[in-house]
Structure 1
Amino acid sequence: MLTLICRHFIAQSSYYFALIAIALLVMMPTFSFVPEGEHLAQIRQRDFITIHTRNTPTTYYQGRHGPTGFEYELMRRFADSLGVSLNLNADHHPESVLPAVREEGDLGAAALPLLTDTPGIHFTRPIIQMQPLVVYRRGLNGIATPSDLVGLSLGTLSGAGTSNALRTLQRDHPELSWNESHELEVAELLAQVEDGPLDAAVIFDHQFRINRLFFPNVERGFTLGDPLSMAWAVPSGRGLGLLNAANSFLEDLQQTGILDQLVERYFGHDDYLEYVGTRTFLTHLDARLPRFTDEFKQAAKTTGFDWKLLAAVGYQESHLDPDAVSPTGVRGLMMLTRPTAKEMGIENRRDPAQSIDGGSRYLRSVMDRLPDEITGDDRLYMAMAAYNVGLGHLYDARDIAEMRGGNPNLWADVREALPLLQQREWHSKTRHGYARGGEPVIYVRNIRRYYEMIEYVERSRQQFFQLEQTPVNANPLLMFEPVPPLD
């Protein structure tokens, strides 16, 4: 009897197994078994990779000398490693990047937090750590602990990962509330803290370091929760070839130290545009300027600028250091890029005479390209701003000034418009997109200050020299107008 039951069970099982096998065969066409390298092969065949990113200073933007940004540098190098060109879609908010990658893109690189169990997405290995940070408006006292955030008007970006830290904090502080923006970017969020609609915000530490100079009324608060990992996103279900290639590329950058160098270049110099103290400036002026005075005077003859103004530009660019290298890789005393040096016929950017000559002539060429309607000091200040941020972004700022009812030919109005290039509301209406628009404002302000100080020092030296040339038997007091005593 037992034998018969076993035989019946085996027969029945075989029958059901057969049905399952047939069902699987029928269903197989509905599954997509993608070869591991098919997606990567498609990219190489079409000869470009489409990457979805954000128009921000920490990811990608059009800088003074062309495209720049930390993740742009990684993206460009990755495309080169694949032997393809780079096709960027930078019109994204953090929340819109992953849907675009799932639907149509090859890769997402937009300061994305590595979040496990994200549907339709594979993340690469971590790139850098991103530490959530509380920032608040200067004047608000006692913002030192999480409980101090209760009752404040608090904001953050939706989809950026910072809201995760707030949700974790909310478990211990149920009364905590905040606003998440689906439209703003980091600079706009900081502007809202500075101007008052928000009391505080949660962003990432590296984002604050690269933006803080433009928002002097925003204070660093305290870190919030554990760091998140920045990673790239690739669509799942299309093979692992691209993911493996990206991981291999990032691992190689890490092993060779190149990644650390890029982190230092883009995030390790948050104060390089700041106005240095008078003591430091005068020390540099005394030790360095005499070495290059003749070169500045010669360049002034060639270009028609005051040599002291050119010296002020040189100090702003490099602190008069012919071996200087900027965070974005430009070199020399006047910080010329290779294309600019080539345009100006300069062979050695580190040669101070060539650098001063090339930088001065480039400033003149920028000034000559401005519209004739811009005159006087307005023309000079706009030329200096364009030397820093590029003519394209300056023209965008002039357009914004006009949109706001200002005069695009007056520096005062363009100066107010330039920082708006950091806000999506405005840069989305321009031809060249996002720019660190606050930077040229500080740049021009610094040069004007340096110029005034160089003028003062030179005038004082001339007066001292005249005193030294006074005959020994002469009375120096005769050189001054006497002040009579009070009656």
Structure 2
Amino acid sequence: MQRITYRVKVSAQGAKRRISYLLRPSKRLLNTKSNLVTSVNPVTSSRFARTKKLAQVSSIALLSLPAESFTTMDSQVPTYDHVMLENTLTIAAVPGDSTYFATDGFQHGFGYDLVRTYADELGVDVNLKAYASEKAALRAVKSGNADMALTTASTQLKSQLNLSSVNVSCGYDASLTKNGLHPKVSWTFNSANDPLSQKASYFLCDSIKLENTQKLAAFYNQNLLKDAYSQDHFQRTLTEKLPDYQSSFEEQARNYNHDWELLVAMGYQESHLDANAVSPTGVRGLMMLTNNTAKAMGVSDRVDPYQSIGGGARYLEQMKSDFADVPKTDRIWFALAGYNMGPNAVKSIQRKLRAQGIDDKSWANIYAYLAENRASNSRYGQAMHYVSNIRSYLETIKTQTV
């Protein structure tokens, strides 16, 4: 066994030396007079440089393959090297409450957020391709049209296509099911030996990452409107009350560049669309504005529905501006958290994360911090539920499941 291992290492080292030798300029060219060197066609030089780069990538790819691959002549460049060369991770995904949600400019989701975090760790962009079925998404990976798939496909289907997958919960399925998510959300790859698959497995199953995955699952909890009472109340409110205010929501949304259904979701969270609502702390109206916020937003009558919706829309736009440096995909969650607990409180959390070397512009990291510290600060727990609930209401309104 030791002898076999040694031969593989020698073969790998030999391959690397041979490729390096081939890429090395010949001594004859190095000794050529300078006037001949400067006369080389720039296009030819550029082509040679690109060919050399591809050869270097290919040499890395060959050396990263399993030992038996050195005996074959048709070895392909690993998907990982292709992703790094193109600086893009292409995902084949099927929309769903456990994978991703994309409607009217809102693109998010439990599985999608995990993929974005993985891409950030690799230092590449994400290109998401939507497919109507899990089989179609998996075939995209098989044919090379996608680098990986995000699905809830069965093990049998993945086996039929001879694909390898990693469960995003890394075996802790209960952390997903208790939040109403599919227990078998997975990332699927062409080969288990590809570094892209291997790195994904390490990424998902790292103890710290796994803990954050479980917290992210709590944010994407799908149980909020599952019970009959909640469903009935939500449906009756939208059926009986929304028609009275819909034109106001639509107009104020246009005034402040919002999606009007997002404002509806906020209104339901704040007051269940009750224009006369009053809380024990003194906030009032459909959007439950404080007296100070109402004055700052130019609202003279907090129980006037049109003014209340306008004040809430204007304040939300201000929050979005305060977090303009946050990527658009996560910005709305930051803005909603700022709307609920104040922008300075959110920015304080960001500073603490930055001090720890943690990405402070990722909502997953902000949410994880809120979850970890909510016992010591009740506002953190409130903000968690506030943002998560609005996300759930918005998705329900968008998909018209009520």
Using structure 2 for the length normalisation, give the TM-score: 0.42
The structure showing larger relative contact order (alpha-carbon pairs under 8 Å, at least 6 residues apart) is: 1
Determine which structure has the larger helix proportion and give its number: 2
Higher radius of gyration, 1 or 2: 1
